[in-house]
Structure 1
Amino acid sequence: MSKEHIENLIENIVQNIVANSPIELVDVEYIKEREWYLRIFLDKEGGIEIEDCHWVSEQLEAKLEELDPIKESYYLEVSSPGLDRALRKDRDFVRHIGDKIEITTFAPINGQKRTVGTLNNLNNGNISIDIDGVEMIIPRNQTSQVRLFVDF
Structure 2
Amino acid sequence: MAGLLRAGGRIGMVATLAVLASACSSITNHRGYIIDETLVASVAPGLDNKQSVRGTLGEPTMVSEFGDPIWYYISSRTTQAPFTRPRIDEHTVFAVHFDAAGTVTAADRTGIEQVVRLNPESDETPTLGRHRGFLEDLFGNIGTVGAGGLGGGGAGS
Structure of larger gyration radius:
2
Query: TM-score scaled to structure 1, two decimals?
Result: 0.23
